[in-house]
Amino acid sequence: MRAYLPSYELKTPVDLSEALKFLADEPGVWKPFAGGTDLMVVFETGKLQHKRFVSIWSLKELRGIEVTPEHITLGALTTYTEVQGNEILQREFPLLCQAASETGGLAIQNRGTLGGNVANASPAGDSPPALLVYDAQLELVSSTGSRLVPYNGFHTGYKQMLMRPDELIKSIRLPRTGEPWRQYYRKVGTRKAQAISKICFAGLAQLDGEQIKDIRIAVGSVAPVVVRCLRTEDALKGRKVDAAAVSAARAELAREISPIDDIRSTANYRLQVAMNVLEEFLINL
Amino acid sequence: MPDASRKVEINCTVNGERQTLHAYPMARLLDALREELRLTGTKEGCGEGECGACSVLVDGALVNSCLVPVLQVEGAEIKTIEGIASSEQLHAVQQAFITCGGAQCGICTPGMIIAAVNLLERTPEPNEAEIRTGLAGNLCRCTGYMRIFEAVVHACQSTEAKS
């Protein structure tokens, strides 16, 4: 059944401080609404439980990409189109650009935002695996101040996150390591455009000769949250990439993820494909 | 639960004309265009941002009008399929769809043409991959896409011939 329009409220604050005042004055009553590419889908089916929203789409304080020698800071409203068009991101954070290019189609990429993708907290989001391997941090802001939190660990369960009702995501910060990472991203969906992931994988590695000096792995759509696979990384660090290492890594990954059957895929398919994609990443290093 | 909202006034420009829409803030831009302004060229397909039938341009950017709450187009310039031709003169893309047989049932056609016009504004001479990416968010269930691609290529050629 379609949504009953009069029961939903959407307000446009004049600036960020007014938006934060909405969230602070009645905690939990108002929620931020960005580009709408996720919320409007739920809304249209009549299943959007929450009723009152603050439209943050027009807030300039949440836009723009700032570059310092240490970090790139992306305003929470940075769209997928803006991510793809940024030259520094293309050069240093290509997995995020690839994730952005494989999210929806152009019309979705023009409205979908990185902050929205994080706050929607779907385990099937395309950008979170890339954000996890880049050790992203989130700047959360409220009317009483702001704080920086690591993105890894931010999602604590399905659609659960470590954010108070009076806070919103102001920006996403990516540390620039300057190190020569080999980078790999693979989204497996039903078709190239518009599909929601069956699994989604991001990997970074640095080699010292034939040995893996450092490695970072994150996988989406295989657990209640997107998973940074620290145990699989530990199983690979310091090892030469040979058949034994690949086999050990596959086994560790299988223990570290917990895929389920749902409308898009099955637990077994996801497990097999996650292990195969990990192997493809490793043997091509 | 008491109703949370009342209708609000939203001022925007649609196909070059200033308009004031009266709608609930979460009403879809798609419905405001079709029902309030009677611009029924914009179609509803899936209603969830997957098919592109409802594509329009908001401040020059391609969007799915089924996913945009009308409150968010305050002050915006909107272009729909009705604003693509200039008076009696079809846009090169529209003419090319006719010439190449790029439309059958026609439900996807307004969205396809909006997406193609937007593509050619950004990339006047797209290669095949760019055409595929530019139209990737628009589904067609009957022409099979090849004639649609041909129409976009034909539109580029006819635009070049004129300039």
Walk along chain B (163 residues) in steps of 10 and give the mean pLDDT of each run: 86 98 97 98 96 98 98 98 94 96 95 98 95 95 91 89 58
Considering only the C-alpha atoms of chain B, give the largest distance between any 2 of them, rounded to a whole number of Å.
62
**A195 inside 8 A of chain B by CB:** no
Place of tokens 């249209």: A44
CA angle A250, A256, A262 (to 5 degrees): 100
Beta carbons within 8 Å of A91's beta carbon, 6+ residues apart: none
Which pLDDT score is estimated for B1? 58
Number of A to B CB contacts under 8 A, please give it.
Answer: 106
Fill in the DSSP letter of residue A76: T
Query: Does ipTM top 0.85?
Result: yes
Closest to A221 (Cα-Cα) out of A125, A100, A151, A152: A125
Which pLDDT score is estimated for B161? 60
Mutant choice from B64, B73, B133 vs A, greatest count of A C-beta within 10 A: B64
Segment A158-179 shows an average pLDDT of 95
Which pLDDT score is estimated for A78? 98
**B61 inside 8 A of chain A by CB:** yes
Q: Tokens at residue A170, please?
A: 């102001």
Closest to B30 (Cα-Cα) out of B70, B87, B58, B2: B70
Phi-psi region at B75: left, alpha or beta (left = phi > 0; alpha = psi -120 to 50):
left
In three-state secondary structure terms, A203 is strand
Closest to B29 (Cα-Cα) out of A85, A57, A32, A49: A57
Fill in the DSSP letter of residue A62: G
For residue A204, the one-letter residue type is L
Which pLDDT score is estimated for B163? 54
- Give all strands of the β-sheet with A52-55 in edge-to-edge order: A9-11, A52-55, A31-33
Report pTM.
0.95
Q: Tokens at residue A49, please?
A: 């439980």
Residue-wise pLDDT for A54-80, tens only, equals: 999 999 999 999 999 999 999 999 999
- What is the distance between the alpha carbons of residues B157 and A134, in angstroms, rounded to a whole number? 44
Which pLDDT score is estimated for B162? 60
Phi first, then psi: give them for residue A45, nearest 5 degrees: -80, 0
Which pLDDT score is estimated for B144? 81
Counting residues of chain A whose pLDDT is more than 90, the rounded percentage is 90
A194 falls in which pLDDT band (50, 70, 90)?
A: confident
CB A280, CB A200: distance < 8 Å: no
Cβ of A111 within 8 Å of Cβ of B64? The answer is yes
Whether residue A177 has pLDDT greater than 80:
yes
**B41 inside 8 A of chain A by CB:** no
Residue-wise pLDDT for A7-44, tens only, equals: 999 999 999 999 999 999 999 999 999 999 999 999 99
Fill in the DSSP letter of residue A248: H
- What is the distance between the alpha carbons of residues A58 and A62, in angstroms, rounded to a whole number? 9
Q: How many residues does chain A have?
A: 285
**A108 inside 8 A of chain B by CB:** yes
CB A184, CB A86: distance < 8 Å: no
Mutant choice from B67, B70, B135 vs A, greatest count of A C-beta within 10 A: B67
Which residue from A10, A41, A51 is facing B71, i.e. has the nearest CB?
A10
The CA distances from residue A124 to A151, A196, A223, A266, B25, in Å, are 16, 7, 9, 14, 29
Whether residue A201 has pLDDT greater than 90:
yes
Which residue from A41, A81, A107 is facing B55, i.e. has the nearest CB?
A107
Q: Output the 3-class SS for chain B.
A: CCCCCCCEEEEEEECCEEEEEEECCCCEHHHHHHHHCCCCCCCCCCCCCCCCCCEEEECCEEEEHHHCEHHHHCCCEEECHHHCCECCECCHHHHHHHHHCCCCCCCCHHHHHHHHHHHHHHCCCCCHHHHHHHCCCCCCCCCCCHHHHHHHHHHHHHHHHHC
Bridge pairing between strands B77-79 and B8-14: parallel
Whether residue A232 has pLDDT greater than 90:
yes
Which pLDDT score is estimated for B37? 98
